[in-house]
Amino acid sequence: MNPVCSCIYCKEVKSVKGIHTHVERSHLGSTKYSNGHNGKYNTKEFITKLKQSISQKNDTRLGEFKNFLVNCFKCKKVFSVLERELQFPKKEKYFCTRVCANSHTITDDQKKKVSSKLTGKPYIEPINVNTICIVCNNPFTYTKYYTKKDKLFCSKTCTNRKRVELKRLQRPALINYRADCAFKFNLSDFPDEFNFFLIEEYGWYRPKNRGNNLTGVSRDHMISVRYGFDNNIPPEHLSHPANCRLLQHGKNVSKGTKNSITYDELLIRIKEWDEKYK
């Protein structure tokens, strides 16, 4: 019979052989005996051996890892997945990215249910409509929903063109003419034709609320816009680079509707300019 003794803390009777373990575990908080292996299972060699053993068992039971080609359930893109041979296919649906996985496909039944709930009317399937753009006269096709208006434009470009046309109809003719006569070229494309020293000396003109450089330089129409409007001069002549010069804004304003050259001189300048810069 094994000799016994009592614990000095709880007075519990234990064998002499196990009394030290009991005291350290229960009363002193020691954990070195908690697993019964004295830490030998925490070594790198044992962990590596355990992983290899588990991997070999899974290879035998489930097959080795291989790459399999699958189609994304959302976008139908082909990509590869790494799975065990006997487990493939592991899923019913595969997704190539998180974006595809998080996207939701609304079924026709859901559409009908939501539509009838929100509108109080039965759901009507959308139809494809073939029509002609009222701006460019090109045919196009769009999807027509019964709650939406008919589409009149094939693109945003045509929509914006129509808006510009409507604005022009609402504005005076002189304002539209001024917009057409605005310079649309880049000065840096013609470095030998303009006096850039004025810009270096005075800078560009800026009003008080946008930099406050009232003595700066601006572009001047040598044939004034008002003169061109009164004499039916084509706006493409007034917006031509040959009709432009750099001038301090104060002098440009004081010039008013006066011309720096005649219209015949401008036509000659335009012809020479176009021949020089084909």
Report pTM. 0.49
* 217-221 and 244-248 beta bridge pairing: antiparallel
State whether 262 and 220 are in the same domain: yes
223: nearest Cα among 188, 170, 270, 274: 270
State whether 202 and 254 are in the same domain: yes
Query: 151: left (phi > 0), else alpha (psi -120 to 50), else beta?
Result: beta
Mean pLDDT of 182-205: 90
pLDDT tens-place string over residues 152-171? 889 888 988 888 888 888 88
Better-predicted residue by pLDDT, 138 or 9? 138
* Domain coverage including residue 140: 110-156
CB burial readout 180-202, b (16+ within 10 A) else e? bbeeeeeeeeeeebbeeebeeee
- SS3 category, 117: helix
Is residue 245, in this structure, part of any structural domain at all?
yes
DSSP structure class, residue 14:
E
Spatial distance between the Cα atoms of 76 and 98, rounded to a whole number of angstroms: 14
pLDDT of 180: 92
Is residue 263, in this structure, part of any structural domain at all?
yes
State whether 197 and 226 are in the same domain: yes
Confidence of residue 38 (pLDDT cuts 50, 70, 90): low
Mean pLDDT of 240-250: 93
State whether 64 and 144 are in the same domain: no
Summary mean pLDDT of the chain: 86
State whether 257 and 187 are in the same domain: yes
Task: Report phi then psi at 173, rounded to 5.
Answer: -65, -35
At 5, the amino acid letter reads C
Is residue 65, in this structure, part of any structural domain at all?
yes
State whether 179 and 261 are in the same domain: yes
